Amino acid sequence: MEAPVLPRGRITRPRALGAAVIGIAFLILYRITLAPDILGHDSGDWQAGGATLGISHSPGSPAYTILAWFFSHIPMGTLAARVNLLSAVTGAAGVVLVFIFMLMLLNRWLPALVSAATLGLGGHWWAQASVAQPYNSVPVFICGLLILLLLWREKGDLKLVYGGALLCGVGLAYHPSLLYFLPVLIAGLFVLGPWRKFIKPLPVLFAIILFGLGLCIYAYIPIRSGMNPIIRYTPVDSLSGLYHFVTVSEARSTGTFAATLPGQDELRQRLSEVVRQGYFPSYAFLVFGPAIALLYPAVWRRLKPRRRMLSFLAAGALFHISVVFIISGIYVQYYLPVLLYFSTWAGFSVWLVMTVAEEYLDVKRLRYAPTIATAVIYFGVLALGIPQILPFVNHREDLGMRRYANWVFSQAKPDAVVMANWDSYPGLLFAQKVDGLRPDLKIIPVPPETWRDYLPAERAENPTSQILLARSLPFDDHSGTSEIGSWYFISIKGRTYQDQTHGEPDPAAVQLFEVK
């Protein structure tokens, strides 16, 4: 028989202490691998927006920007590194919340620890915790809302619904991709708890008000845009402009976010990139093996108090992942909820092994052997995966963007025009606008595939301009280059926050070419 366990939903002092220790441990781990300075691409834009209370690229994420601004005042490292620290704290918070959720759901320490370690050591999760970005907040909000749903099922307190409504509104203001989880959340409200208590005029109205209160954070964007901050992706001066900015309508019109049903090969590639490449290869398959225990009648009986929640979680995860795959296109950072669901399954699989051992091993001395062996195997395989993902997640030496910015500013002549693609434009803008370097330069964002279209107009406007354009090329090609005497220059640079094994050169690359 199963040993006595604490009531679900109860977080005792030892459990709270364990969650705090886990959170601190992962925060230290993420701090060790944290990027120390400015970065290129999206991360550079999030850094600049957060450090200056500016407006980053759409959808803006105003809640992230405001919180990042507070982090920028922490007396630690460079200004950019302080903004990066917010991602490390968010990543550690996600690990803590999944640990708490699994403790509340299964009432066992080992499954909760396995789930926390699976999420915290996932390659894409760890990588997102080392650079400035808001994307890892989405699984954090999802896990918080799942905890509230679990409590709603146990207690049926309307205060939990109100708290969830406010949390959901704030989460959407942190990053609107949380919207993909909203149908799952609404379904859970009716499937898991006493929904008749909620479907009354006053409770529904109060929940809507609190949800709208969280969404009001979006008012920051047009208000701050009217103040003309030094970092502003685009002016937003109307409700329609705010709508198009938040919904990324410009990108959708170009097909970047077009909803397309992925084929089998593409789906397999996405799942492999997010899950299998983020761990030691066998781990992604190992955690599904214990599912065979569901065929045992005793195990199925043990699941009875949890069947509804587990069935809802499985169906909700399948729906949410499908929506993410269809809508998010090539942007793997939106797939982070997959790691959350994968980590919960990893913990559940450990619970299945423990349950089988307790039900079918009568010899007490052998009862704990499968549990010990499972812990050794799961944590051992996770540890084996760390060397493989470390080059991808470790950014502690990532000074490529800073070196590149210093090099560009040293080469550019007075009042030059610097044309840069998105790989380098945010980092260069941070160095100029935030750090105050080379205010005489005119930095223009230009898509790399269309840079030639800009040359005649700029040349006619300012025939003595020097133009540098950033594009992707490995760092080794910089050796032996020297300044070329001409009006126009193309400077080629690669991204700085991922390595070559993941398709992006690291660190920054610089090379000059004369434009005929």
- Which has the minimum average pLDDT: 52-56, 98-102, 225-229, 277-281? 277-281
The whole-number average pLDDT for the span 141-151 is 95
The whole-number average pLDDT for the span 179-207 is 92
> 3-state class of 501 per DSSP?
helix
Q: 151-181 in b/e burial notation, b at 16+ Cβ within 10 A?
A: bbbbebebebbbbbbbbbbbbbbbbbbbebb
The whole-number average pLDDT for the span 296-300 is 86
d(CA 241, CA 124): 33
Yes or no: say if 178 and 142 are a contact pair by the CB < 8 Å rule: yes
- Which has the minimum average pLDDT: 104-108, 209-213, 358-362? 358-362
Q: Is the pTM of this model over 0.85?
A: yes
Yes or no: say if 489 and 500 are a contact pair by the CB < 8 Å rule: no
Q: 260-271 in b/e burial notation, b at 16+ Cβ within 10 A?
A: eeeeeeeeeebb
d(CA 328, CA 408): 34
Q: Is the pLDDT of residue 133 over 60?
A: yes
Determine which helix (DSSP H) or strand (DSSP E) holds 183, and give its type and residue range.
helix 182-191
The whole-number average pLDDT for the span 92-107 is 95
The predicted structure's pLDDT at residue 105: 92
E strands in 446-492: 467-468, 489-491
Tell me the β-bridge partners of 490.
Answer: 513
d(CA 320, CA 314): 10
Residue type, 427: G
Helices and strands (DSSP H and E) totals, the chain: 23, 5
Q: Is the pLDDT of residue 199 over 80?
A: yes
Residue type, 484: I
DSSP string, 97-154: HHHHHHHHHH--HHHHHHHHHHHHT-HHHHHHTSSS-STTHHHHHHHHHHHHHHHHHH
Yes or no: say if 195 and 219 are a contact pair by the CB < 8 Å rule: no
- Which has the minimum average pLDDT: 266-275, 450-459, 493-502? 493-502
Q: How confident is the model at residue 346 (pLDDT cuts 50, 70, 90)?
A: very high
The whole-number average pLDDT for the span 497-506 is 37
The whole-number average pLDDT for the span 457-464 is 46
Cis preceding linkage at 194, omega within 30: no
> 3-state class of 173 per DSSP?
helix
The whole-number average pLDDT for the span 381-405 is 85
Yes or no: say if 72 and 48 are a contact pair by the CB < 8 Å rule: no
Angle, nearest 10°, between helix axes 158-174 and 137-155? 170
Angle, nearest 10°, between helix axes 41-52 and 79-106? 100
Yes or no: say if 335 and 142 are a contact pair by the CB < 8 Å rule: no
Q: Which of 259-273, 318-332, 451-465 is modeled with the greatest confidence?
A: 318-332
Q: Count the residues in the chain.
A: 516
Yes or no: say if 274 and 128 are a contact pair by the CB < 8 Å rule: no
Q: How confident is the model at residue 450 (pLDDT cuts 50, 70, 90)?
A: low
Our CA angle for 113, 114, 115, nearest 5°, is: 90
Yes or no: say if 423 and 41 are a contact pair by the CB < 8 Å rule: yes
The predicted structure's pLDDT at residue 221: 95
- What is the three-state SS of 30-90? HHHCCCCCCCCHHHHHHHHHHHHCCECCCCCCHHHHHHHHHHCCCCCCCHHHHHHHHHHHH
User: Could you tell me if residue 258 is left (phi over 0), alpha (psi between -120 and 50 degrees) or otherwise beta?
Assistant: beta
The predicted structure's pLDDT at residue 371: 81
Give the sheet arrangement for strand 442-445, strand by strand.
Answer: 442-445, 417-420, 467-468
Beta-carbon count within 10 A of 213 CB: 13
Yes or no: say if 429 and 404 are a contact pair by the CB < 8 Å rule: no
Q: Is the pLDDT of residue 2 over 60?
A: no
- Which has the minimum average pLDDT: 10-24, 81-95, 199-213, 358-372? 358-372
Give 279's DSSP letter: S
Q: How confident is the model at residue 257 (pLDDT cuts 50, 70, 90)?
A: low
d(CA 230, CA 245): 18
- Phi and psi of 157, rounded to 5°? -90, 125
The whole-number average pLDDT for the span 305-322 is 90
Q: How confident is the model at residue 441 (pLDDT cuts 50, 70, 90)?
A: confident
Q: Where are the alpha helices (DSSP H) in 394-485?
A: 400-411, 425-429, 455-461
